[in-house]
Structure 1
Amino acid sequence: MTQNIAVIAANGKSGQLIVREAVDRGLDVTAVVRGENKTVAQHAIIKDLFDLTAADLAGFDVVVDAFGAWTPETFPQHSTSLKHLADVLSSADARLIVVGGAGSLYVNPEHTVQLSQTDGFPEAFLPLATAMGDSLAELRERSDVRWTYVSPAADFQADGPRTGKYVLAGEEFTANEAGESAISYADYAIAIVDEATAAPENAHINERISVRW
């Protein structure tokens, strides 16, 4: 049973909600932040992600990576940050759960076409989706880390409601009966903590999963 969880980039919008969800469920939560801890976590590590060591993350059952890079010059950090965390957690017992993107979800059963490669995908989001997709592809090559990559729905709503419900899916893009693919950050946080606390037989180790309403 998961007891100790670290949330990296905990001051971000998704990070803060994941911390709150975990604390509300009685978990012992450590926020990993570069500056002042703005979360409700019981503990904090004040350190840049790229400076984290194996000793910093020792003793955690789960490490949640909520890091994001949102400008073209920092997009490569999706790969470099994930590689650093994977190296730090190499051969450790701790699970690494990654807050991912939707653009790399597949739209065909053969898994040859991703959402970001389809007509109508917003051009403005393509560089970010490509960078996040590349980081997932690199993570798939790691067998020395117990990782899980969690893609949100296409419409990832920062201020959406907390309904307490979501649909768990896999590698392929899915939508509801109305053709909508959406999830709030709050309900996504529920899914992250559900995965973090899942029994071993139900955990999605070395898999990508996705969530939507």
Structure 2
Amino acid sequence: MKLVLFGATGMVGSRIATEASARGHQVLAVSRSGQSPVPGVTATAADATDVAKVTELVADADAVASACVPPRDGTDLTGPFLTLNRALVDGTRTAGVARLVVVGGAGSLEVAPGQQLCDQPGFPEAVLAEALAHRDALTYYRSVDDLDWTYVSPAAEIGPGARTGRFRTDGDRMLTDEHGNSRISAEDYAVAFVDELETPTHPRARMSVAY
């Protein structure tokens, strides 16, 4: 599979690039810096909000992936992040690529039917704006009916760790362990993400991943 991965140098994006490359997929790693997150992986610099550039880069891809995140510079998050995701959709659509898989947020996962994590008392204020930006992006994707997209939400806690290959997946529900914790390593999240790229199980839907 030829995969074009935007946001490839971040914590999650670099793990996805590593996992996909290790499985023998041809990965084009796209970021603002143009640095390769994995030795041997082809990299290029580009702005994911540039529809023409997105179209050019994904023109002969089998699938497109995004590990892009909202801006973390203290400015408005929702507007720029929606612009970025619309550009990814428009570029992917124009290039004629059907498959788009996106790294999502955990804040909009449901802790009970109709009750999202980010709306609960005590949700950390420091990450609320980013959670809401991701939620708005998910709302946008749910309006896209001409691409085979999947929005992959991690557990509430995600960070560098071990690749075990053992995890659970669901839809809109926040998964927790027997102690009530919701967590996943970035490495195992990448395994689930590439699994979904290879064998779609959540077309035009959200998928959650946790231990």
The structural deviation recorded for 1:191 is 0.7
Residue by residue over 1:152-176, the C-alpha shift from the partner in whole angstroms, topping out at 9 and shown as x without a partner, is 000112x222222111111111211
| 8 Å contact kept, 1:169–1:211 | yes
Q: What's the secondary structure of 1:102's corresponding residue?
A: coil
Residues 131-190 of structure 1 show CA distances to partners (whole Å, capped at 9, x for unaligned) of 110111111111122210000000112x22222211111111121111110001111011
**TM-score normalised per structure 2:** 0.91
Q: Which amino acid aligns with 1:14?
A: V
CA distance in structure 1 between the partners assigned to 2:111 and 2:207 by the alignment: 14
Distance in 2, matches of 1:27 and 1:74, equals 36
**Structure 1 residue runs without a partner (length 5+):** none
In structure 2, the residue matched to 1:196 is: 197
One-letter identity of the residue aligned with 2:81: H
Name the CA shift for 1:68/1:126 in 2 (closer, same or farther; >3 Å). same
Kindly indicate whether the alpha-carbon contact (under 8 Å) linking 1:93 and 1:146 is maintained by their aligned counterparts in 2.
no
- Distance in structure 2 (CA, Å) of the matches to 1:121 and 1:103: 9
- Over 3 Å counting, the alpha-carbon distance change for 1:74 and 1:27 in structure 2 is farther
Moved over 3 A (4+): none
Q: Which residue of 1 aligns with 2:150?
A: 148
In the alignment, is residue 132 of structure 1 matched against residue 134 of structure 2?
yes
Structure 1 74/62 Cα, relative in aligned 2: closer, same or farther at 3 Å? farther
Alpha-carbon separation, structure 2, partners of 1:194 and 1:86: 21
Aligned to 2:42: 43
Matches within 5 A, 1:8-157: 8-40=6-38, 42-51=41-50, 52-69=53-70, 70-76=72-78, 77-90=80-93, 92-109=96-113, 112-157=114-159
| Structure 1 Cα separation of the partners of residues 41 and 162 of structure 2 | 25
Aligned CA RMSD, in angstroms, stands at: 1.6
- Matched pairs, number: 205
Which region of structure 1 is more displaced relative to structure 2, 45-54 or 59-68?
45-54
Equivalent residue letter for 2:174: F
State the identity as a percent. Answer: 39
1:102-126: CA deviations, max 9, x gaps?
A: 00112222xx321100122112211
- 2:2·2:62 contact (CA, 8 Å) conserved in 1? yes
8 Å CA contact retained: 2:34, 2:46: no
Secondary structure at the residue paired with 1:83? helix
TM-score by length of 1: 0.90
Q: More helix by proportion, 1 or 2?
A: 2
Aligned counterparts of 1:96 and 1:152: Cα–Cα separation in 2: 17
